Structure 1
């Protein structure tokens, strides 16, 4: 009966469409199976190390999968002789999710199926004996059906012995993955240092760039604060001032990367090493941010002190009109464990712009959990008009937690600043933006020098 000669309901029409889709899917599946059978029968040995005529033979045998994924060297030797297909592929679950439909009208979110090779499996898991057998049996060392070679996998997983084997058997150290990465770009863990050394020994280009961001290996090593990698790349001629697509140099990358307080020293050492080897502290990225802007945003006071000591402009504005001080204050509430008051103090001692007194209530709202930051900001003024807005800007919980400090702060509404503080302001005003340089040279006791440099007291006097 024709659909044009009978009135179908919308539900009936949908059922017909689903049935048609199921029939088409079943037809394609049978065709695919017949092609796989034809491929399997077409493989004939042509001498030692020679393999079938058609690349991309798909293997779904669970015994093969199990032997490779568990690193069973004995079983791998039994299954993979000199007659095995050179470009054998397997299906495995990737890292990305996508929608699949196994039954008409039913969809599920599953991990995307990716093509991988026996070399990729063994190289990524460090099964060097299995890998060596596959290589000696004639495996294509640069075969990459899923977009990454076995060398990419071994470097990404820091498998140095597998990396050595692959390079020895002719793997291309400059091969580019589907995502635009060379194996050297994937050496992003401290344990991958040996892999990076091997790649460079076998002729890898240390200044090659990723396709998406234009990063070099030095950008990546700086971003993750890999000290040994940074030294290795610079020793092999890495360009210390090369910019990526965002206009960032490796120095920008190390200053911009958010990190824990436990890693602060490591990031500082990488920053110091880059500057020692000629990194420009005045370079600006596409948003006109200097390394100081980025270091203030991550609130690493060691890096901030280092950059300021190199003469970087402490008051340069970026495209958004923010000076480094603004970046530091914006991050205070989120970086309390980094002691943000140290960053703010350093900026002020090197001549940073002060906060407009009318904006102090707003600063109190965002930075009140760091009383020392408020103390430093207030102590650069010889007088301030404390209003009710100041009190209302600090939550009751914070007031109770830091009661002594805020009582001393709000007492300024009725009490003038001490003569000692007024003298401090006069001396700092005399030195303008050179307090950090000039005050330590004064013939004064250490405690007075510290006081002039805004040493923390925990209260306002």
Structure 2
């Protein structure tokens, strides 16, 4: 007989079929009365397994059969976190349509962190659109912006910044610019400075971003240039206005009664 819900076991045939994307096999198991909410010793449900592998058809079958959409595994991750880690926009949309929480109360990485880690800009955009918390804080990774910078996913970084993520958010006083300097990415450094990144911010070791660059390297020269050259007045105004409009300020900027060229400039288009 099928073990009752909550009884801790190793992986079941439902887990195996879900993970492998064997939708026909999964459908037969469901029809024969298999439990879709069975958990393994790590509290992993079949829905976690299917989401992590981006198996959209299996995710659909499990949800329709009553799988718990916000079940937590041993790490506290929900199936939405796993779908974002896989970068499967189809699975993300399915889970959200069944009421998955975009901001589950986690002490670990949020769905947005996971999407930034996998570098799935499509998932990042969708999560931002449905109200993901841009400043969700993970004790290991910091904010989603920290993760996107550390992994050098520039398109995700730009999306977060355009949506109003705090460019100077700190994890142990370490900012996104510290990450950009450490990964030696000039494009990333310039983008963060353009959005108001503080080149003088010091981390818990008292170091500025430039302290993590090799002297005379391209990142060092870039930071040195900005240390010696003040930002233009137009750039300072843009950063100030964006700060004043706050998170998701793009909607407010688009409604301003000013020339379209200025709206484009303020929107970083």
**Which residue pairs with 1:304 in the alignment?**
220
**Distance change >3 Å, CA 185–CA 61, structure 1 → 2:** closer
Shift of 1:63: 3.4
Shift of 1:308: 0.8
**Which residue pairs with 2:237 in the alignment?**
none
**Distance change >3 Å, CA 56–CA 312, structure 1 → 2:** farther
**CA distances 1:68-91 after superposition (whole Å, capped 9, x unpaired):** 232111111111149554532135
Measure the CA separation in 1 of the matches of 2:94 and 2:117. Answer: 20
**Distance change >3 Å, CA 88–CA 192, structure 1 → 2:** same
**Which residue pairs with 1:153 in the alignment?**
82
**Distance change >3 Å, CA 241–CA 149, structure 1 → 2:** same
**Which residue pairs with 1:268 in the alignment?**
186
Alignment equivalent of 2:110, drawn from 153, 172, 182: 182
Measure the CA separation in 1 of the matches of 2:158 and 2:65. Answer: 38
Alignment equivalent of 1:254, drawn from 177, 180, 184: 180
Query: In angstroms, what is the RMSD of aligned CA positions?
Result: 2.5
Residues 119 and 153 in structure 2, CA contact (< 8 A), matched pair in contact too:
no
**Distance change >3 Å, CA 123–CA 207, structure 1 → 2:** same
**Which residue pairs with 1:169 in the alignment?**
98
Q: Give yes or no for the alignment of 1:230 onto 2:157.
A: yes
Q: Choose between structure 1 and 2 for higher RCO, CA contacts under 8 A separated by at least 6 residues.
A: 2
Shift of 1:199: 1.3
Unaligned runs of at least 5 residues, structure 2: 230-269
TM-score by length of 2: 0.76
Higher strand share: 1
**Which residue pairs with 1:417 in the alignment?**
none
Instruction: Show structure 1 runs of 4+ deviating over 2 A.
Output: 57-66, 81-87, 187-191
Matched ranges for 1:39-438 at <5 A: 40=3, 55-58=5-8, 63-81=13-31, 84-85=34-35, 87-91=37-41, 114-146=42-74, 147-177=76-106, 180-189=108-117, 191-212=119-140, 215-244=142-171, 246-257=172-183, 267-296=185-214, 301-311=217-227
Unaligned runs of at least 5 residues, structure 1: 1-36, 44-54, 92-113, 258-263, 314-461
**Which residue pairs with 1:34 in the alignment?**
none
**Distance change >3 Å, CA 285–CA 123, structure 1 → 2:** same
Residues 173 and 183 in structure 1, CA contact (< 8 A), matched pair in contact too:
yes
Residues 36 and 62 in structure 2, CA contact (< 8 A), matched pair in contact too:
no
Where 2:40 maps in the other structure, the secondary structure is: strand
**Distance change >3 Å, CA 86–CA 242, structure 1 → 2:** same
Shift of 1:64: 2.9
Residues 57 and 87 in structure 1, CA contact (< 8 A), matched pair in contact too:
no
TM-score by length of 1: 0.46
Shift of 1:134: 0.8
**Distance change >3 Å, CA 171–CA 300, structure 1 → 2:** farther
Where 1:144 maps in the other structure, the secondary structure is: coil
